[in-house]
Amino acid sequence: MIKIAVDGYEINKNYTGVGRYTFDLLTSMVELDKDIEYTLFLKEESELSDQLKGVKKMVLPSEKGYTRWQNTKLKRELKKGKFDLFFGTNYSLPFLYRGKSVLTVHDISWKVLKDDYSFKERLLKEIKSRISFNKASLIFTVSKFTKNEIVKYYGISEKKIVPVHSAINENFKRVENDRINDFKEKIGIKERKLIGFLGSIFKRRHVKELAEAFKNIRKADNDFALLLIGKIYDNTVMPLLKSPGIYWKERIDDTDINSFYSTLDLFVYLSEYEGFGFPPLEALKCETPSLLLNSSSLKELYEEISIFIDKPEIKTIESSILNFFSEKEKNRENILKKFKERENYFKWERAAKEYLSKIKELLNR
Protein backbone atom coordinates (compact mmCIF):
# COMPACT_ATOMS: atom_id res chain seq x y z
CA MET A 1 0.00 0.00 0.00
CA ILE A 2 1.40 3.37 -1.07
CA LYS A 3 0.90 6.13 1.52
CA ILE A 4 0.58 9.69 0.21
CA ALA A 5 0.13 12.78 2.36
CA VAL A 6 -1.70 15.72 0.78
CA ASP A 7 -1.66 19.40 1.71
CA GLY A 8 -5.35 20.30 2.08
CA TYR A 9 -4.93 23.67 3.78
CA GLU A 10 -6.96 25.48 1.10
CA ILE A 11 -9.89 23.05 1.41
CA ASN A 12 -11.70 25.16 3.99
CA LYS A 13 -14.90 27.12 4.56
CA ASN A 14 -13.66 29.96 2.34
CA TYR A 15 -11.93 27.78 -0.23
CA THR A 16 -10.14 29.36 -3.19
CA GLY A 17 -9.24 28.00 -6.62
CA VAL A 18 -6.39 25.98 -5.08
CA GLY A 19 -8.86 24.39 -2.66
CA ARG A 20 -11.20 23.39 -5.47
CA TYR A 21 -8.27 22.11 -7.55
CA THR A 22 -7.08 19.91 -4.66
CA PHE A 23 -10.59 18.60 -4.03
CA ASP A 24 -11.39 17.79 -7.67
CA LEU A 25 -8.01 16.19 -8.41
CA LEU A 26 -7.96 14.09 -5.25
CA THR A 27 -11.54 12.91 -5.84
CA SER A 28 -10.53 11.52 -9.24
CA MET A 29 -7.21 10.07 -8.06
CA VAL A 30 -8.95 8.10 -5.29
CA GLU A 31 -11.33 6.54 -7.81
CA LEU A 32 -8.54 5.50 -10.19
CA ASP A 33 -6.31 3.53 -7.81
CA LYS A 34 -7.53 1.81 -4.64
CA ASP A 35 -4.01 0.68 -3.71
CA ILE A 36 -3.03 4.18 -2.62
CA GLU A 37 -3.88 5.44 0.85
CA TYR A 38 -4.30 9.22 0.98
CA THR A 39 -4.12 11.28 4.16
CA LEU A 40 -5.44 14.80 3.69
CA PHE A 41 -4.22 17.40 6.18
CA LEU A 42 -6.70 20.22 6.83
CA LYS A 43 -6.73 23.32 8.99
CA GLU A 44 -10.48 22.95 9.64
CA GLU A 45 -13.52 20.86 8.82
CA SER A 46 -15.67 22.17 5.96
CA GLU A 47 -18.58 21.20 3.75
CA LEU A 48 -16.11 20.65 0.90
CA SER A 49 -13.82 18.32 2.87
CA ASP A 50 -16.85 16.35 4.10
CA GLN A 51 -17.65 15.47 0.49
CA LEU A 52 -14.31 13.68 -0.02
CA LYS A 53 -14.73 9.92 0.25
CA GLY A 54 -12.07 7.23 0.55
CA VAL A 55 -9.55 9.64 2.09
CA LYS A 56 -8.19 9.74 5.65
CA LYS A 57 -8.50 13.25 7.06
CA MET A 58 -6.55 14.89 9.84
CA VAL A 59 -7.49 18.37 11.06
CA LEU A 60 -4.61 20.50 12.37
CA PRO A 61 -6.30 23.68 13.69
CA SER A 62 -4.32 26.88 13.35
CA GLU A 63 -4.87 30.64 13.37
CA LYS A 64 -1.24 31.50 12.65
CA GLY A 65 -1.33 31.47 8.85
CA TYR A 66 -0.27 29.00 6.19
CA THR A 67 3.52 29.21 6.48
CA ARG A 68 3.45 28.66 10.26
CA TRP A 69 0.91 25.81 9.91
CA GLN A 70 2.93 24.12 7.19
CA ASN A 71 6.24 24.30 9.04
CA THR A 72 5.02 23.34 12.52
CA LYS A 73 1.92 21.17 12.76
CA LEU A 74 2.04 19.70 9.26
CA LYS A 75 5.78 19.04 9.36
CA ARG A 76 5.45 17.12 12.66
CA GLU A 77 2.66 14.92 11.30
CA LEU A 78 4.58 14.17 8.12
CA LYS A 79 7.55 13.03 10.16
CA LYS A 80 5.40 10.76 12.35
CA GLY A 81 3.37 9.32 9.45
CA LYS A 82 6.23 7.73 7.48
CA PHE A 83 4.63 8.55 4.14
CA ASP A 84 6.00 7.41 0.79
CA LEU A 85 5.27 10.81 -0.75
CA PHE A 86 4.08 14.29 0.17
CA PHE A 87 1.89 16.09 -2.37
CA GLY A 88 2.13 19.87 -1.97
CA THR A 89 -0.82 21.26 -3.90
CA ASN A 90 -0.32 24.88 -2.85
CA TYR A 91 2.96 26.24 -4.29
CA SER A 92 5.33 25.32 -1.44
CA LEU A 93 6.73 22.54 0.76
CA PRO A 94 7.65 22.55 4.47
CA PHE A 95 11.18 23.95 4.75
CA LEU A 96 12.71 20.96 6.57
CA TYR A 97 10.77 18.12 4.94
CA ARG A 98 13.28 15.60 3.53
CA GLY A 99 11.08 12.89 2.00
CA LYS A 100 10.02 12.44 -1.61
CA SER A 101 7.63 15.15 -2.72
CA VAL A 102 5.70 16.51 -5.66
CA LEU A 103 4.63 20.12 -5.84
CA THR A 104 1.96 21.93 -7.85
CA VAL A 105 2.79 25.46 -8.96
CA HIS A 106 -0.22 27.23 -10.44
CA ASP A 107 1.63 30.39 -11.49
CA ILE A 108 4.47 32.63 -10.32
CA SER A 109 2.47 35.85 -10.24
CA TRP A 110 4.43 37.25 -7.27
CA LYS A 111 7.54 37.24 -9.46
CA VAL A 112 5.98 38.77 -12.56
CA LEU A 113 3.18 40.98 -11.21
CA LYS A 114 5.02 42.86 -8.51
CA ASP A 115 2.41 45.61 -8.19
CA ASP A 116 -0.17 43.05 -7.01
CA TYR A 117 1.86 42.16 -3.88
CA SER A 118 3.47 44.02 -1.01
CA PHE A 119 7.24 43.81 -0.60
CA LYS A 120 6.78 41.55 2.46
CA GLU A 121 4.47 39.19 0.55
CA ARG A 122 6.85 38.97 -2.41
CA LEU A 123 9.87 38.35 -0.18
CA LEU A 124 8.17 35.48 1.69
CA LYS A 125 6.91 33.89 -1.53
CA GLU A 126 10.34 34.25 -3.11
CA ILE A 127 12.07 32.51 -0.19
CA LYS A 128 9.49 29.71 -0.04
CA SER A 129 9.45 29.14 -3.80
CA ARG A 130 13.24 28.96 -4.19
CA ILE A 131 13.50 26.41 -1.37
CA SER A 132 10.50 24.41 -2.56
CA PHE A 133 11.36 24.35 -6.27
CA ASN A 134 14.80 22.95 -5.51
CA LYS A 135 13.61 20.54 -2.82
CA ALA A 136 10.68 19.00 -4.76
CA SER A 137 11.33 15.66 -6.44
CA LEU A 138 8.93 16.70 -9.22
CA ILE A 139 7.04 19.91 -10.02
CA PHE A 140 3.61 19.84 -11.64
CA THR A 141 2.30 22.94 -13.42
CA VAL A 142 -1.24 23.51 -14.67
CA SER A 143 -0.04 24.75 -18.07
CA LYS A 144 3.01 24.77 -20.33
CA PHE A 145 3.04 28.53 -19.86
CA THR A 146 3.71 28.21 -16.12
CA LYS A 147 6.39 25.59 -16.74
CA ASN A 148 8.19 28.00 -19.07
CA GLU A 149 7.87 30.79 -16.51
CA ILE A 150 9.57 28.68 -13.81
CA VAL A 151 12.38 27.74 -16.17
CA LYS A 152 12.81 31.36 -17.23
CA TYR A 153 12.79 33.00 -13.79
CA TYR A 154 14.20 30.25 -11.55
CA GLY A 155 16.45 28.20 -13.82
CA ILE A 156 14.87 24.88 -12.80
CA SER A 157 15.57 22.00 -15.20
CA GLU A 158 12.76 21.37 -17.69
CA LYS A 159 13.04 17.64 -16.95
CA LYS A 160 11.88 18.26 -13.39
CA ILE A 161 8.69 20.07 -14.44
CA VAL A 162 5.61 18.28 -15.79
CA PRO A 163 2.73 20.37 -17.18
CA VAL A 164 -0.71 18.80 -16.69
CA HIS A 165 -3.68 20.87 -17.77
CA SER A 166 -6.35 21.16 -15.12
CA ALA A 167 -9.99 20.27 -15.73
CA ILE A 168 -13.48 21.45 -14.85
CA ASN A 169 -15.93 20.22 -12.24
CA GLU A 170 -18.99 18.61 -13.83
CA ASN A 171 -21.26 20.77 -11.66
CA PHE A 172 -20.83 23.59 -14.18
CA LYS A 173 -23.69 23.38 -16.69
CA ARG A 174 -26.27 25.56 -18.38
CA VAL A 175 -29.44 26.29 -16.42
CA GLU A 176 -33.00 26.44 -17.74
CA ASN A 177 -34.60 29.69 -18.93
CA ASP A 178 -36.69 30.14 -15.77
CA ARG A 179 -33.52 30.32 -13.65
CA ILE A 180 -31.95 32.75 -16.13
CA ASN A 181 -34.99 35.04 -15.84
CA ASP A 182 -34.95 34.75 -12.04
CA PHE A 183 -31.25 35.68 -11.95
CA LYS A 184 -31.76 38.74 -14.17
CA GLU A 185 -34.63 39.86 -11.97
CA LYS A 186 -32.51 39.33 -8.84
CA ILE A 187 -29.72 41.55 -10.22
CA GLY A 188 -32.18 44.04 -11.71
CA ILE A 189 -31.14 43.61 -15.35
CA LYS A 190 -33.75 44.55 -17.95
CA GLU A 191 -31.51 44.65 -21.05
CA ARG A 192 -31.51 41.68 -23.44
CA LYS A 193 -27.87 41.68 -24.67
CA LEU A 194 -25.64 40.78 -21.76
CA ILE A 195 -21.83 40.84 -21.46
CA GLY A 196 -20.10 39.71 -18.26
CA PHE A 197 -16.89 39.35 -16.28
CA LEU A 198 -16.16 37.32 -13.14
CA GLY A 199 -12.95 37.37 -11.10
CA SER A 200 -10.87 39.65 -8.92
CA ILE A 201 -10.68 42.99 -10.72
CA PHE A 202 -6.96 43.69 -11.16
CA LYS A 203 -5.44 46.08 -13.70
CA ARG A 204 -3.98 43.13 -15.59
CA ARG A 205 -7.53 41.98 -16.45
CA HIS A 206 -8.37 45.26 -18.19
CA VAL A 207 -11.88 45.63 -16.79
CA LYS A 208 -11.52 49.41 -17.09
CA GLU A 209 -10.92 49.13 -20.83
CA LEU A 210 -13.87 46.73 -21.11
CA ALA A 211 -16.13 49.21 -19.30
CA GLU A 212 -14.95 52.09 -21.52
CA ALA A 213 -15.62 50.02 -24.65
CA PHE A 214 -19.04 49.10 -23.26
CA LYS A 215 -19.92 52.79 -22.78
CA ASN A 216 -19.37 53.34 -26.52
CA ILE A 217 -21.48 50.29 -27.40
CA ARG A 218 -24.25 51.39 -25.07
CA LYS A 219 -24.46 54.84 -26.69
CA ALA A 220 -25.45 53.16 -29.97
CA ASP A 221 -27.69 50.48 -28.44
CA ASN A 222 -29.18 50.81 -24.95
CA ASP A 223 -30.29 47.17 -24.96
CA PHE A 224 -26.75 46.13 -23.91
CA ALA A 225 -25.79 45.47 -20.28
CA LEU A 226 -22.44 44.72 -18.62
CA LEU A 227 -22.39 42.62 -15.44
CA LEU A 228 -19.17 42.66 -13.41
CA ILE A 229 -18.64 40.23 -10.53
CA GLY A 230 -15.56 40.52 -8.34
CA LYS A 231 -13.69 42.43 -5.65
CA ILE A 232 -12.14 45.60 -7.06
CA TYR A 233 -8.36 46.10 -6.73
CA ASP A 234 -8.18 48.66 -9.55
CA ASN A 235 -9.62 51.97 -8.34
CA THR A 236 -9.83 53.37 -11.88
CA VAL A 237 -12.82 51.07 -12.42
CA MET A 238 -14.93 52.61 -9.63
CA PRO A 239 -16.14 55.78 -11.46
CA LEU A 240 -17.28 53.69 -14.43
CA LEU A 241 -19.69 51.66 -12.30
CA LYS A 242 -22.13 54.58 -12.39
CA SER A 243 -22.43 54.37 -16.18
CA PRO A 244 -25.85 53.34 -17.60
CA GLY A 245 -26.17 49.60 -18.15
CA ILE A 246 -23.22 48.59 -15.93
CA TYR A 247 -24.06 46.35 -12.98
CA TRP A 248 -21.54 45.32 -10.32
CA LYS A 249 -21.57 42.86 -7.43
CA GLU A 250 -18.53 42.08 -5.29
CA ARG A 251 -19.62 38.45 -5.18
CA ILE A 252 -22.57 36.19 -5.90
CA ASP A 253 -23.63 33.01 -4.14
CA ASP A 254 -22.08 29.76 -5.38
CA THR A 255 -25.61 28.60 -6.21
CA ASP A 256 -25.88 31.48 -8.71
CA ILE A 257 -22.63 30.82 -10.62
CA ASN A 258 -24.25 28.66 -13.30
CA SER A 259 -27.09 31.17 -13.64
CA PHE A 260 -24.56 33.98 -14.09
CA TYR A 261 -22.69 32.24 -16.92
CA SER A 262 -25.90 30.96 -18.56
CA THR A 263 -27.44 34.43 -18.58
CA LEU A 264 -24.56 35.95 -20.54
CA ASP A 265 -24.35 36.19 -24.30
CA LEU A 266 -20.59 36.78 -24.08
CA PHE A 267 -18.07 36.37 -21.27
CA VAL A 268 -15.07 38.74 -21.44
CA TYR A 269 -11.80 37.92 -19.67
CA LEU A 270 -8.98 40.12 -20.97
CA SER A 271 -6.28 38.92 -18.60
CA GLU A 272 -2.59 39.39 -19.37
CA TYR A 273 -1.46 36.71 -16.91
CA GLU A 274 -3.13 33.42 -15.95
CA GLY A 275 -1.57 30.16 -14.83
CA PHE A 276 -4.65 28.34 -16.12
CA GLY A 277 -7.70 30.62 -16.17
CA PHE A 278 -10.79 28.70 -15.07
CA PRO A 279 -13.58 31.26 -15.77
CA PRO A 280 -13.60 30.89 -19.60
CA LEU A 281 -13.88 27.12 -19.18
CA GLU A 282 -16.69 27.53 -16.64
CA ALA A 283 -18.48 29.78 -19.12
CA LEU A 284 -18.08 27.25 -21.94
CA LYS A 285 -19.56 24.50 -19.76
CA CYS A 286 -22.59 26.78 -19.39
CA GLU A 287 -22.65 27.22 -23.21
CA THR A 288 -21.39 30.80 -23.22
CA PRO A 289 -18.48 31.84 -25.50
CA SER A 290 -15.62 34.02 -24.27
CA LEU A 291 -13.60 36.95 -25.57
CA LEU A 292 -10.01 36.59 -24.33
CA LEU A 293 -6.64 38.28 -24.56
CA ASN A 294 -4.16 36.31 -26.65
CA SER A 295 -1.59 35.88 -23.87
CA SER A 296 -0.22 33.58 -21.11
CA SER A 297 -2.03 30.25 -20.69
CA LEU A 298 -5.25 31.50 -22.28
CA LYS A 299 -3.93 31.19 -25.84
CA GLU A 300 -2.56 27.73 -24.96
CA LEU A 301 -5.82 26.36 -23.56
CA TYR A 302 -8.61 28.07 -25.47
CA GLU A 303 -7.38 28.17 -29.06
CA GLU A 304 -10.32 27.69 -31.45
CA ILE A 305 -12.86 27.57 -28.60
CA SER A 306 -12.83 31.28 -27.82
CA ILE A 307 -12.54 34.66 -29.54
CA PHE A 308 -9.18 36.40 -29.12
CA ILE A 309 -7.81 39.89 -29.39
CA ASP A 310 -4.09 40.75 -29.35
CA LYS A 311 -4.26 44.04 -27.46
CA PRO A 312 -6.72 45.30 -24.81
CA GLU A 313 -7.40 48.57 -26.59
CA ILE A 314 -10.83 50.14 -26.20
CA LYS A 315 -11.60 50.29 -29.94
CA THR A 316 -10.44 46.70 -30.45
CA ILE A 317 -12.60 45.44 -27.57
CA GLU A 318 -15.58 47.40 -28.86
CA SER A 319 -15.29 46.13 -32.44
CA SER A 320 -14.75 42.51 -31.32
CA ILE A 321 -17.88 42.57 -29.16
CA LEU A 322 -19.95 44.14 -31.93
CA ASN A 323 -18.61 41.63 -34.48
CA PHE A 324 -19.68 38.78 -32.20
CA PHE A 325 -23.19 40.18 -31.75
CA SER A 326 -23.58 40.92 -35.49
CA GLU A 327 -23.94 37.14 -36.03
CA LYS A 328 -24.33 36.01 -32.46
CA GLU A 329 -26.08 32.68 -32.99
CA LYS A 330 -23.74 31.61 -35.77
CA ASN A 331 -20.62 32.60 -33.81
CA ARG A 332 -21.90 30.95 -30.65
CA GLU A 333 -22.80 27.74 -32.48
CA ASN A 334 -19.35 27.49 -34.11
CA ILE A 335 -17.51 27.91 -30.81
CA LEU A 336 -19.72 25.49 -28.87
CA LYS A 337 -19.41 22.88 -31.62
CA LYS A 338 -15.61 23.01 -31.35
CA PHE A 339 -15.79 22.89 -27.56
CA LYS A 340 -17.95 19.75 -27.65
CA GLU A 341 -15.23 18.07 -29.70
CA ARG A 342 -12.66 18.85 -26.96
CA GLU A 343 -14.87 18.69 -23.88
CA ASN A 344 -13.72 15.25 -22.73
CA TYR A 345 -10.14 16.53 -22.52
CA PHE A 346 -11.18 18.86 -19.70
CA LYS A 347 -12.33 16.05 -17.40
CA TRP A 348 -10.53 15.46 -14.09
CA GLU A 349 -10.18 11.73 -14.82
CA ARG A 350 -7.77 12.55 -17.65
CA ALA A 351 -5.74 14.89 -15.46
CA ALA A 352 -5.68 12.42 -12.55
CA LYS A 353 -4.32 9.66 -14.80
CA GLU A 354 -1.46 11.93 -15.88
CA TYR A 355 -0.62 12.82 -12.27
CA LEU A 356 -0.71 9.19 -11.10
CA SER A 357 1.47 8.02 -13.97
CA LYS A 358 4.24 10.47 -13.03
CA ILE A 359 3.86 9.85 -9.27
CA LYS A 360 4.23 6.07 -9.67
CA GLU A 361 7.18 6.57 -11.97
CA LEU A 362 8.80 8.72 -9.27
CA LEU A 363 8.10 6.20 -6.49
CA ASN A 364 9.60 3.35 -8.54
CA ARG A 365 12.95 5.07 -9.00
For the stretch 246-286, pLDDT in tens is: 999 999 998 999 999 999 999 999 999 999 999 999 999 99
> Do the domains 2-167+347-363 and 177-346 sit in the same CATH topology, yes or no?
yes
The residues spanned by each domain of the chain are: 2-167+347-363, 177-346
Fold (CATH) for 177-346: Rossmann fold (3.40.50)
pLDDT at position 16 is 79
pLDDT at position 114 is 86
Domain at 2-167+347-363: CATH architecture:
3-Layer(aba) Sandwich (3.40)
Closest CA to 211 of 240, 249, 235, 234: 240
For the stretch 167-213, pLDDT in tens is: 999 999 999 999 999 999 999 999 999 999 999 999 999 999 999 99
Mean pLDDT of the residues in the chain = 95
CA dihedral for 226, 338, 302, 322, sign (positive or negative):
negative
Q: Say if residues 296 and 271 touch (Cβ distance below 8 Å).
A: yes
pLDDT of residue 15 exceeding 90, the answer is no
Whether this model's pTM surpasses 0.75: yes
In the chain, the percentage of residues whose pLDDT exceeds 70 is 100
pLDDT at position 63 is 83
SS3 of the chain: the string is CEEEEEECCCCCCCCCHHHHHHHHHHHHHHHHCCCEEEEEEECCCCHHHHCCCCCEEEECCCCCCHHHHHHHHHHHHHHHHCCCEEEECCCCCCCCCCCCEEEEECCCHHHHCHHHCCHHHHHHHHHHHHHHHHHCCEEEECCHHHHHHHHHHHCCCHHHEEECCCCCCCCCCCCCHHHHHHHHHHHCCCCCEEEEEECCECHHHCHHHHHHHHHHHHHHCCCEEEEEECCECCHHHHHHHHCCCEEEECCCCHHHHHHHHHHCCEEEECCCCCCCCCHHHHHHHCCCCEEEECCHHHHHHCCCCCEEECCCCHHHHHHHHHHHHHCHHHHHHHHHHHHHHHHHHHCHHHHHHHHHHHHHHHHCC
State the greatest distance between any 2 C-alpha atoms of the chain, in Å, as a whole number.
Answer: 67
